[in-house]
Amino acid sequence: MKRIILLLISILSIIKAYSCDYEQKSFLWWYFKSDMICSGKVIKVFESDSSSYDVKLLVDRVYKGENLDTLRLTVNSFHEGGLTISDCDVYMRTGDKYLVYARKSGSRYFTGGQESRTGLEIHIKSFHPNDFKWLESIDCKVTDFYWDWRERYIKTVPENIDSIVQSNFNINTCDTTNVHGTWAFVLCNIDEHGILTKSNLFYYRNGVKKEIARIIYEKNEFLNPEVDCFTDFQREAVRVTKLIKKWTPPIFCGKKVKGQAMIKYEYENGKIRIELSN
């Protein structure tokens, strides 16, 4: 049981790590957030006395964005005195070949620093070996996937969750002599219209071998299979969750998308306590 609780806590905890953004975000996130994705060779580096500098790129191939033969690119960096301050830095040199994920502001393109998946082609092939294959074959939309907690900008929020739970939950289902009967985790699927489409107990009993998530273009999507509840409390948690039909849908890239949320139900001091991880 402790293992299950620790597993769920680790899934739901969103830890602010001191690491590069590209390690925290999926290929899909970078694909949709980038205005330009291309490969090419650096043919000129412009001098700069700031933490940013410009380069000129001879474009080999454009995977997303406007077709250009050359690209003037501003690279955000954290270099001082020739030293690398952040291990996320991109420092472009003449002759190097890069795969560039860039954003556009006005007529200018930006990349680099801790806000980019841009890297030397040889490094991309080592650390993200599927990027080129995915870029050549990707055929999906922002709304095709359940976006997870780290990658969407507006979280999904249930309407009237407190009043619905407190007025409908039958606390007589609690078995205070058994820890299994005093808590439950329910995973909710919400579509882009804010409608609850599925809510199941998020728990795998001993001997049941099922994956808890699948990887789509490096993005974790939590599975929501039909899992049998084995206590009255868990069955009640799932029943009450299905009464919370209306949610504010999550938003990513300015569009309403599908998302998931986890509700933890716990019996404490004669009342039902709920925690929403969204």
Do residues 54 and 95 lie in contact, with contact meaning Cβ atoms separated by under 8 Å? no
- Pick the last residue of a domain from 120, 139, 158: 139
Q: Using the 3D structure, point to which of 97, 112, 139 is the last residue of a domain.
A: 139
Q: What is the dihedral of CA 146, 148, 154, 158, to 10 degrees?
A: 70
CATH of the domain at 36: 2.40.50.120
At residue 73, the pLDDT reads 93
Q: Which of 108, 139, 170 is the last residue of a domain?
A: 139
**Can you name the residues that pair with 84 across neighbouring β-strands?**
79
pLDDT of 233 reads 92
Both 72 and 125 in one domain: the answer is: yes
Asked if residue 1 is part of any domain, the answer here is no
pLDDT of residue 148: 81
Would you call 113 exposed, middle or buried from its count of C-beta atoms within 10 A (0-12, 13-18, 19+)? buried
- Within this chain, do residues 130 and 204 fall inside the same structural domain, yes or no? no
Same domain, yes or no: 102 and 185: no
Q: Are residues 127 and 236 in the same domain?
A: no
Mean pLDDT by 10-residue block, N- to C-terminus, for the chain (278 residues)?
42 38 79 96 88 91 96 77 52 92 93 79 91 95 87 87 93 77 89 94 68 84 83 93 93 92 90 90
Does residue 241 sit in the same domain as residue 266?
yes
DSSP assignment of the chain, as one string? -HHHHHHHHHHH-----SS-HHHHS-HHHHHHH-SEEEEEEEEEE---SSSEEEEEEEEEEEEES---SEEEEEEE--EETTEES-TT-----TT-EEEEEEEEETTEEEEETTS---EEHHHHHHHSTTHHHHHHH----GGGSEE-TTT-SB--EETTHHHHHHHH--GGG--TTSGGGSEEEEEEEE-TTSBEEEEEE----TT----SEEEETTEEEE--------SHHHHHHHHHHTT--BEEPPEETTEE-EEEEEEEEEEETTEEEEEEE-
Residues in the chain, how many?
278
87 and 158 in a common domain: no
Residue of 154, 150, 155, 156 lying closest to 16 (CA atoms) = 150
187: Cβ–Cβ under 8 A, 6 or more apart, which residues?
A: 199, 200, 201, 202, 222, 224, 260, 261, 262
**Gyration radius from the chain CA atoms:** 23
12 within domain boundaries: no
- Whether residues 164 and 263 share a domain: the answer is yes
Q: Which domain holds residue 266?
A: 146-277
The pLDDT of residue 60: 97
Q: What's the domain count of the chain?
A: 2
Position 86 in a domain:
yes
d(CA 20, CA 115): 8
Based on the fold, state whether residues 79 and 109 are members of the same structural domain.
yes
pTM of this prediction? 0.80
**Phi, psi dihedral angles at 81 (to 5 degrees):** 60, 30
- Tell me whether residue 28 is in a domain: yes
